[in-house]
Amino acid sequence: MDRFIIEGGHRLTGEVAVGGAKNSVLPIMAAALLTDEEVVIRRVPRLRDVASQVKVLQSLGARVLHDEKQGILRIRCDDETPITAPYELMKTMRASICVLGPLLAKRKRARVSMPGGCVIGVRPIDLHLKGMEGLGATLDVRAGYVEASSPRLRGNTLFLGSSAGSTVLGTANVVMAATLAEGETLLENAAQEPEVVDLCHVLAKMGAQIDGIGSHCLRITGVDKLHGVDHAVIPDRIEAGTFAIAAAMTKGDLTVRGCQPRDLLALIERLRAAGCDVATGADWLRVAAPRRLRPIDVTTLPHPGFPTDLQAQLMALLTTADGISMIHERIYPDRFIHVAELHRMGARIRKEGATALVEGVAKLSGAPVMASDLRGSAALVLAGLAAEGETTVDRVYHIDRGYERIDERLRLLGAKIERRAGESQALSMAAGAGG
């Protein structure tokens, strides 16, 4: 397994461009199952999760051409025989569950493994299943698989809500299923995240009838058939936010290009509250950091609130603020695995239930740490950039799931970061060379 070796203490300066949104492209790829015509997706980032989703679609009979250099996917799903999405492919990422709705709507049957992904606490798919049952599907969960069937889904009034608020992937799954259902579906408490909006725009281009896009109430009138589409996914707001936080953490001055600042208003407001100078334009933002950050309080909430996918990175930032900050995690209360690793670097963090109290220190210290999830690994890299001395981040395949060539891009901004093969991998390569 690869690792990053980071020499801390170097400011990030200059400009960086963000790629397409991981959390947008994966459901859009699943939407290709709703038509037998070609679906073209542009601005596709080169990520492990995209490669995994390609394999899932191929196992379901799709023909996929992936031009990684140009960032273009061409998908055609004209073989509708396969209905099983196997565990071996589904175990690596949670977004793979999004094939359930399209399979059920188009092929009338689905056998989908329960999904995997990051270890950030319990994330059940009960709202996905509730939505499918509400549309008339018969469901059975056995041996780790969801088995679903329905001769024709039927529209219904559905409320998708939980103690954590709306469900992003659940909304995506139900909306896709409802596009081919008979009659009208009224979906209340729909997620409003930009990635859900992007998916709805794609479905509308394919011929779906969806009213209320961008609101908490979606009205979907089922149609008999959807056609192909050519669509460029939105910029990745989480990647943009991660670079913005990296600039603040390294006392840098960084311009993030190709982003949509309106999707990052909650982060921008918090960075300004911490003392950063943040300027924005139509498709860019610039972060200039102060000599010492002020402490702030943050609560993660569904969009347009502060995104849970930036919580770990912001916590890393606040470990060097001048005072005590509080972070309340309302989406995934157990999403604090990165706390123990930040402790290894000298951070002072006390976790109390779904709240973390962060007492800023003058300087973090480089240390060997281990990534355990996608966003937590990004937080450890940011901490390493700002720490004194050398930091080794192991198991960086997690960060490769959601950030394209992040080490190379950080080096262009002034970071001292190097990717090395893990010990077992290096030994294997050496043995192969010796043979």
pLDDT at 422: 66
What is the pTM assigned to this prediction? 0.93
Annotated catalytic residues are: 118
| Residue 13 pLDDT exceeds 50 | yes
**Window from 92-101, 161-170, 368-377 with minimum mean pLDDT:** 161-170
pLDDT at 432: 44
- Judge whether 245 and 256 are in contact, CB under 8 Å: no
Task: Give the mean pLDDT of 276-280.
Answer: 98
Task: Give the mean pLDDT of 72-88.
Answer: 94
Task: Give the mean pLDDT of 35-40.
Answer: 98
What are the distances in angstroms from CA 412 to CA 116, 157, 198, 237, 416?
A: 33, 51, 30, 20, 9
Task: Give the mean pLDDT of 49-59.
Answer: 95
**Window from 77-86, 238-247, 385-394 with minimum mean pLDDT:** 77-86
pLDDT band at 164 (very low <50, low <70, confident <90, very high): low
pLDDT at 122: 42
Nearest to 30 by CA among 144, 174, 146: 174
Q: What is the pLDDT of residues 89-142, one digit of tens each?
A: 888 777 889 999 999 999 999 999 987 544 444 446 889 999 999 999 999 999
Give the chain's mean pLDDT. Answer: 93
Sheet order of strands, 157-159 included: 157-159, 184-188, 217-221, 209-211
Task: Give the mean pLDDT of 52-72.
Answer: 96
Q: What residues contact 2, with CB distance under 8 A and at least 6 apart?
A: 396, 397, 400, 419, 420, 421, 422, 425
pLDDT at 333: 87
pLDDT at 116: 59
pLDDT at 95: 81
Q: Where in the chain is the domain with CATH 3.65.10.10?
A: 3-19+235-427, 22-232
pLDDT at 118: 44
Superfamily in which the 3-19+235-427 domain is placed by CATH: Enolpyruvate transferase domain (3.65.10.10)
- Judge whether 207 and 226 are in contact, CB under 8 Å: yes
Task: Give the mean pLDDT of 145-151.
Answer: 94
| Residue 280 pLDDT exceeds 60 | yes
Q: What is the CATH number of domain 22-232?
A: 3.65.10.10
